[in-house]
Amino acid sequence: MRRLLPYLGAVSSWLLLLAVCRGQDCPCPASPGGDFVSLCQSSQDGACCDCVCDCRRFLGMLPSDHCFDDFISPISNPFFFEDPRSLTEVRGIFLNNNLPGDIGGANAQLWAAQLRGRLTERVSVIVPRVGYWHIVPGGNDSPAGFMAVPVGFKYNLVRDVERQFLLSAGATYFIPGGGGSYTNFGDGDFHFFLSGGKQIFDRGHWVSGSGFRIPANNNWGTQLWYWSNQWDYEIARGWYPLVGVNWFHWMNSSAQNLTNGITGLDLVNLPTGGVAGSNVVTSVVGLKWKPSGHLEVGAGYEFPLTANGDILNNRIYADVIFRY
């Protein structure tokens, strides 16, 4: 039953979001006191694509910025590579990570929900992971449990509708998880990031994000710098093939060395030594289907390009996004 809790929470939120999704009919009518903020920003065809209006808040959150609905969200490095748009959404993720043979050759399976809420025209709160993972087949000392939960914010620095260009910055703090999940080392991690997106070739898009994961206690975690990129092209209405590249660089090792060079890559921050200066590069290919600005479904396959893949032999992704 515990493994189903992230699913149940995500599905409940999806149903609530779907129940309130309505057309972008801003500006909303004035309240008697006139104490609301109302802004309707139009797309090139004149339709209202962004509704910033207090009377349309749901659970305190504004509707997503729909002026960039031709973009799709990144699929790989999902807990760090942030979509640069201002969004109110719930995303469900399943991840099957095949471990290299020299560290067991089993599969790490992860179920997660992501929550994002738009507070103002440019400020969003983000919870990039509420997740459970385990190893299949698992041993007595294999990870199994609820993982560290990142909580933070995102601020939209640049928003150019005409040129379809975005740039955002943000930060999260990883609240330590349970001991069985191997995400309770030290005092948690901080994540600082920049994320941008640009439309290219009319139907194509490039989304790029870079950031740093810094442990609150260097004795129990490594310092990581990553740079993630995804390119897509809409070949038919709502269908997007995609390809991406992720670069991970370890700036500092942990003072503790409990895992002999295995860091956990983008899933966990394991205390290990001897990794400072090392790199892992991966690539992902995938496909997304986006029939509207409120629904997005995708799948992807990731594999290492470097001899060192850390915990990654290959990985399969599946995700679904319900967006207000």
- Per-residue pLDDT reduced to its tens digit, 219-268: 999 999 999 999 999 999 999 999 999 999 999 999 999 999 999 999 99
Torsion angle defined by CA atoms of residues 177, 180, 185 and 191, in that order, rounded to the nearest 10 degrees: -40
Specify the pTM. 0.88
Residue found by looking up tokens 């038919």 in the block: 236
What is the predicted pLDDT for the residue at 44? 62
Both structure tokens of 283: 């690539």
What is the predicted pLDDT for the residue at 303? 98
Of residues 238, 255, 247, the one with CA closest to residue 284? 247
* Phi/psi at 31 (5° precision): -80, 160
Does the domain formed by 2-21+35-323 have CATH 3.90.480.20? no
- Rounded mean pLDDT of the chain? 89
Residues near 34 by beta carbon (within 8 Å), at least 6 away in sequence: none
Strand partners, 288: 240, 298
* Phi/psi at 3 (5° precision): -70, -20
Phi-psi region of 69 (alpha: psi -120 to 50; beta: other; left: phi over 0): alpha
What is the predicted pLDDT for the residue at 263? 97
Strand partners, 209: 195, 228
- DSSP three-state, residue 5: helix
CA distance linking residue 281 with residue 247, whole number of Å = 5
Q: Is the peptide bond before 27 cis (omega within 30 degrees of 0)?
A: yes
According to DSSP, the β-strands at 123-136 and 144-146 are: antiparallel
CA distance linking residue 125 with residue 96, whole number of Å = 27
Q: Measure Cα distances from 297 to 132, 200, 323 in Å.
A: 21, 22, 11
Of residues 118, 125, 139, 133, the one with CA closest to residue 56? 118
CA distance linking residue 211 with residue 137, whole number of Å = 33
Residue found by looking up tokens 């440019």 in the block: 122
How many CB atoms sit inside 10 A of residue 200's CB? 12
Both structure tokens of 170: 């943000």
Q: Which residue positions in the chain have pLDDT lower than 50?
A: 1-8, 10-11, 13-25, 29-35
Per-domain boundaries in the chain: 2-21+35-323
Residue found by looking up tokens 């001991």 in the block: 179
